Chains A and B, each alone.
Chain A
Amino acid sequence: MLALGGAALLAACGSDRQPSHHSRQSAAGAATQPSNAGVAGTAGAGGNGATGGMPANGGASPALGGAPNMAGTTGGGSDAGATSSAPLLPARIRRLASAEYDASVQSLLGTQKSPASGPDFPPDLRQDGFTVNDAARVDAVIVERLDDAALALATEAQQSGTLARLAPCAPSEDVTGCAERFITTFGAKIYRRPLVDAEVQALLLLYTAGAEDATYLDGVAHVTRGLLESAGFLYLTELGDSQPGTSAAVELTPSELASALSYYLTSAPPDDELLAKAQAGALADPDAREAEARRLFATAPAAKDTVVRLVREWLGIDGVDASAKDSLVYPDFAAQKPQIVAESRDFVRAVAFESTGTVSELLGANWTVNSGPLGMYRTQASGPIGESSLIDRVGIMNQAAFLATYANAHESHPVFRGVAVARRVACIPLDSPASFNLQVVPPAPDPEKTTRERFAEHVVDPICAGCHDIIDPFGFSFEHYDGMGGYRAEENGQDVDSAVTVDMDADYDGAYADSNALARVFAESDTVRECFARQMYRAAAATGDEAATPGEAEFVQFWRALPAAAQGNIVETLIAYVKSPNFGRRQAL
Chain B
Amino acid sequence: MRVARSRRAFLRTLGVGAAVLPFVRLVEDSYAQSDGDALPQRFIGVYHPHGVAAELFARQAGETETSFALDYEGSPLQPFDDAATYGASFKDKLVVIEGVDLLSDTNGHNSAGTILTGSRIVGGTGGLPENSSLDQFLAVESGLGNATLVPSIALAVGNKALSARETLSFGAGGVPISKIIDPVLAFDFLFKSAVVGSNPAAQAEAERQQKLGLSLIDFVNGDVNRLRARVGPFQVQKLDQHLDALRALEKKYRALGTPSSCAAPARPSAFPALERYNGGEPYFDAIAELQIDLLALAMGCDITRFATLVLGDLSYADNPLGLPEDNHAGVAHTYSAGPLGSSGRPAVGDPATWKLLATFNKYCYGKVARLMQRLNEAGILDSTLIYASSDMGNPAAHSTRNVPTVLAGGANGKIRMGRRIQYRTDCPLGTSCDTTSSDYQTVANNKLLVSIAQAFGVDIEEYGNQPDPTDSRGTLPDL
Spell out A's residues near B (CB within 8 Å).
1-3, 24-28, 30-46, 48-50, 53-60, 62-68, 90-93, 95, 119-120, 122-129, 135, 137-144, 147, 198-199, 202-203, 205-206, 209-210, 222, 225-226, 229-232, 235, 237, 239, 242, 244-246, 322-324, 326-329, 408-411, 423, 432-442, 444-445, 463, 544-547, 588-589
Contact = CB atoms under 8 A, between A and B. Distances in A.
Interface stretch (B3-11, B27-35, B261-269, B375-383): B3-11
A141 B249 CA distance: 9
Given A37-B3, A225-B216, A143 B246 contact: yes
B429 interface: yes
B346 interface: no
A259 B92 CA distance: 60
Interface residues of B, number: 117
B326 interface: yes
Contact of B432 (A138, A209, A441, A463): A463
A8 to B, nearest CB: 12
Contacts of A54: 105, 120, 122-124, 127
B242 interface: yes
Given A1-B105, A202-B222, 12 more contacts: A25-B122, A31-B237, A37-B131, A42-B2, A66-B122, A125-B163, A138-B245, A141-B177, A322-B275, A324-B315, A408-B329, A439-B429
B341 to A, nearest CB: 12
Nearest to B248: A140
A35 B132 contact: yes
B454 interface: no
Interface in B41-76: none
A122 B160 contact: yes
A66 B120 CA distance: 13
A126 B163 contact: yes
A31 B173 contact: yes
Nearest to A31: B173
Interface string B216-246: 1011101110110111111111110110111
A27 B427 contact: no
B125 A65 contact: yes
A511 B224 CA distance: 58
B5 A38 contact: yes
Contacts of A53: 105, 120, 467
B178 A122 contact: yes
Contacts of B177: 139-141
8 contacts: A25-B122, A27-B126, A28-B123, A37-B131, A54-B127, A142-B178, A432-B105, A435-B106
B274 interface: yes
B213 to A, nearest CB: 8
B277 A242 contact: no
Pairs A-B, 10 closest by C-beta atoms: A66-B124, A56-B127, A27-B123, A65-B125, A35-B172, A44-B465, A141-B178, A122-B178, A209-B215, A324-B277
Interface string B146-180: 00001110100000111110000001111111111
Given A36-B1, A244-B233, A30 B317 contact: no
B36 interface: no
Contact of A206 (B175, B219, B237): B219
Interface of B: 1-5, 10, 13, 104-107, 109-110, 119-128, 130-132, 137, 141-142, 150-152, 154, 160-164, 171-180, 182, 185, 188-189, 211-213, 215-216, 218-220, 222-224, 226-227, 229-239, 241-242, 244-246, 248-249, 274-278, 315, 317, 325-326, 328-330, 333-334, 336, 343, 396-401, 427, 429-436, 465, 467-468
A44 B433 contact: no
Contact of A143 (B119, B245, B328): B245
B244 A30 contact: no
B107 to A, nearest CB: 5
A37 B137 contact: yes
> Which one of B137, B215, B401 has the highest number of Cβ atoms from chain A below 10 Å of its Cβ?
B215
A326 B128 contact: no
B110 A57 contact: yes
Contacts of B333: 442, 444-445
A56 B219 contact: no
B245 A230 contact: no
Given A27-B128, A38-B137, A32 B234 contact: yes
A137 B242 contact: yes
A242 B231 CA distance: 8
A32 B235 contact: yes
Nearest to B104: A434
> Which one of A58, A119, A589 has the highest number of Cβ atoms from chain B below 10 Å of its Cβ?
A119
Contact of A122 (B137, B162, B239): B162
B432 A437 contact: yes
Contacts of B242: 137-138, 143, 231
Nearest to B328: A409
B174 A31 contact: yes
B160 A326 contact: no
Contacts of A328: 317, 325
A544 B122 contact: no
